[in-house]
Structure 1
Amino acid sequence: MKHAPRLAWTAVTAAVTLAMAACGSETPAPAASTAGGPKLAVVATTPEVADFVRNIGGDDVAVTQIIKPNVDPHDYEPTPADLQAIATAKLVVKNGVGLEEWLDRTIESAGFSGTVVDSSQGVTLREGGHHEEEGEHAEEEGEHAGEEGEEHDPHIWHDPRNAKIMVTNIQKGLAAADPSRAATFATNLATYSAEIDRLDSDNAAAWAKIPQTDRKLVTNHDAFGYYIARYDLEFVGSVIPSLDTSAELSAKQLTDLVAKIKATGTTAIFAESSLPPKTAEAIAQQAGVEVVAGEDALFGDSLGAPGTPEGTYLGAERHNTQVIVDALAG
């Protein structure tokens, strides 16, 4: 994962300091909720986490989402607006597992004095993804969340069972920050958890129609390990041989991936919405398979546009399953 250059980060910090000083005590209060009283000001890092907070918090939270749709979270550089939002929030909710490497220094620069909720707490993590330096498979299961590091796969939400843990952590964080609305948050959690269960059941039913020998997946980067493990798929490889998006295939790795696609009878490479499909298209041409891209690109690190079904966690995950199953079913 990449870090923002020191000079750029200094400039951002200076800019937000000046902006906050200019605002002084005139920062507007959060809007009132439908139940009365100000909404709880929450900053959420990723589109997935922000959607979780909106579903659990409902009309009682005012959510500022830092990373917008189709922006790569692995290579994000915070803006002055991000620091201002964090400085005035009561709660910051993150994905965790090292996905937001930029967050700690952003919080420090913003002078944030509230609570940080790590939604990954209690999730069993995969270690090292599907790729090691030598190209060998890593262990499927890792340590429990809380021991963050690059060796752990941060794409935990792709297993709906993990999503249920994440929203439970978020509900606890919201209730602790605003005890007067704890009952409402608990009711919202129960409703949304049932929807996640339905998603998991529907995914399993869709995959049950695909023969085990045809469940082969090649993606832009190694973002679907939890999904693959949950629905018993075979990971053939990824265009970017890494859990993040900064790595590149060597000539040998490219040749090996093409050979493996041919040898396994894999029929498609799935592009991702937040990554360009150019390299995937080149590999697909060499391997003689199709590239699933454009409107059918998978949501690996992001969600779709706001206001669309894919702009929600549930909609994006349903999209992913439908696209993959339809392509593999021919």
Structure 2
Amino acid sequence: MDRQRIFRAAATAAALTVIAGCGSGTPDEGGAAAGGAALAVVATTPEVADFVRNVGGADVAVTQIIKPNVDPHDYEPTPADLQAIASAKVVVKSGVGLEEWLDRTIESAGFRGAVVDSSRGVTLREGHEDEGAAGGHEGEDHDPHIWHDPRNAKIMVANIEAGLAAAEPGKAAAFQANLARYTAELDRLDADNEAAFARLPKDARKLVTNHDAFGYYVQRYGLEFVGSVIPSLDTSAELSGKQLTDLVAKIKATGAKAVFAESSLPPKTAEALARQAGVEVVAGEDALFGDSLGEPGTPEGTYLGAERHNTQVIVTALAG
């Protein structure tokens, strides 16, 4: 079944569910009518959902669409997603084209609330289109993985705070206080990351990952990006035989010490690449969080925890 038919089937099922529930409302909606419930917010990705929880605190009820370790690039919305969006007052997205499915989902859900694009105002890295990649998206204009630079995360949470305050003006002071606290934590994360890489010799700062998700991180902390198993900003491309051979040669020539797998992608190709290059593969519990966060309730289940994990794992492996 093609993607359009899958989506139409999901939309139809969701519409029936929403219609069946009309009149009773969700708990969030019922409380809002009485003036006492938390603001109902749908957030697309784990990172954005964590930002909303930190800025909104107890005054928001967050429905997170994409669960941990699910690839956001080719996500297919479910009937439950449409129902959640139909019941929400605010939808928050990461932006920069990461959620290609969102506009049509919002339209199918009949959503009439506010959509907050958390990427607004972020200086974007240019994307690329690798002509040798099979299955890559044409016309990749900008890198959507903006959150890997904590300075961008500060812009994202400021956008979220503005969106929540506009939707719930009576809670604006609380949102502003939460933003100030969380912004200080982002500053601390950025300073700690800088200090960690300052202890690593410059000629050791070479990164090989599963896919090209760490461009903003590489740029922020002065790393050298050697290459990726998937030669694309999204995860649908494949490495050709020649590209694989070339990447192995580049790893050897640059002296890169490891290939880093990612939590939301299968590690097999990264493991094979590392074997051919004769370097360590970093996978399993040490896999990087490129497109996702860890499981809820773990330190890595938060943006701050996942980014600290990434830095600790990268610095430890590259220090050798």
Name the TM tier (shorter chain): over 0.9
Match of 2:27 among 26, 29, 41: 29
The residue aligned with 1:100 is 99
The residue aligned with 1:39 is 38
The residue aligned with 2:18 is 20
The CA deviation at 1:4 is 6.5
Secondary structure of 1:62's aligned partner: strand
Instruction: Give the Cα–Cα distance (whole angstroms) in 1 for the partners of residues 224 and 26 of structure 2.
Output: 51
Give the residue type in structure 2 aligned to 1:20. V
> TM-score normalized by structure 2?
0.95
The CA deviation at 1:28 is 2.6
The residue aligned with 2:179 is 189
Instruction: Give the Cα–Cα distance (whole angstroms) in 1 for the partners of residues 57 and 267 of structure 2.
Output: 36
Instruction: Give the Cα–Cα distance (whole angstroms) in 1 for the partners of residues 223 and 132 of structure 2.
Output: 22
Instruction: Answer yes or no: is the 8 Å Cα contact 2:126–2:143 preserved in 1.
Output: yes
> TM-score normalized by structure 1?
0.92
Deviations for 1:17-48, whole angstroms, at most 9, x for unmatched residues? Answer: 11112112112331869xx7111000000000
Instruction: Give the Cα–Cα distance (whole angstroms) in 1 for the partners of residues 107 and 306 of structure 2.
Output: 33
RMSD: 1.6
Instruction: Give the Cα–Cα distance (whole angstroms) in 1 for the partners of residues 244 and 109 of structure 2.
Output: 43
The CA deviation at 1:134 is 6.9
The more displaced of 14-23 and 213-222 is 14-23
Instruction: Answer yes or no: is the 8 Å Cα contact 1:98–1:150 preserved in 2.
Output: no
Give the residue type in structure 2 aligned to 1:202. D
Aligned residues: 312
Instruction: Give the Cα–Cα distance (whole angstroms) in 2 for the partners of residues 127 and 101 of structure 1.
Output: 18
Instruction: Give the Cα–Cα distance (whole angstroms) in 2 for the partners of residues 271 and 200 of structure 1.
Output: 23
Deviations for 1:141-184, whole angstroms, at most 9, x for unmatched residues? Answer: xxxxxxxx731000000000000000000000000000000000
Alignment CA distance shift 1:84-1:206 (3 Å) = same
The more displaced of 267-276 and 149-158 is 149-158
Instruction: Answer yes or no: is the 8 Å Cα contact 1:4–1:77 preserved in 2.
Output: no
Match of 1:153 among 115, 126, 143: 143
The residue aligned with 2:63 is 64
Give the residue type in structure 1 aligned to 2:110. G
Match of 1:270 among 215, 240, 260: 260
Summarize the alignment of residues 230-269 of structure 1 with structure 2, pairs less than 5 Å apart.
Answer: 230-269=220-259
Summarize the alignment of residues 277-292 of structure 1 with structure 2, pairs less than 5 Å apart.
Answer: 277-292=267-282
| Structure 1 spans left out of the alignment, 5+ residues | 136-148
Give the residue type in structure 2 aligned to 1:177. A
Instruction: Give the Cα–Cα distance (whole angstroms) in 2 for the partners of residues 19 and 180 of structure 1.
Output: 32
Match of 2:285 among 281, 295, 304: 295
The answer on 1:114 being equivalent to 2:113 is: yes
Instruction: Answer yes or no: is the 8 Å Cα contact 1:222–1:244 preserved in 2.
Output: yes
Instruction: Give the Cα–Cα distance (whole angstroms) in 1 for the partners of residues 2 and 223 of structure 2.
Output: 36
Secondary structure of 2:112's aligned partner: coil
Instruction: Give the Cα–Cα distance (whole angstroms) in 1 for the partners of residues 121 and 290 of structure 2.
Output: 22
**Identity, % of aligned pairs?**
76
Alignment CA distance shift 1:4-1:318 (3 Å) = farther
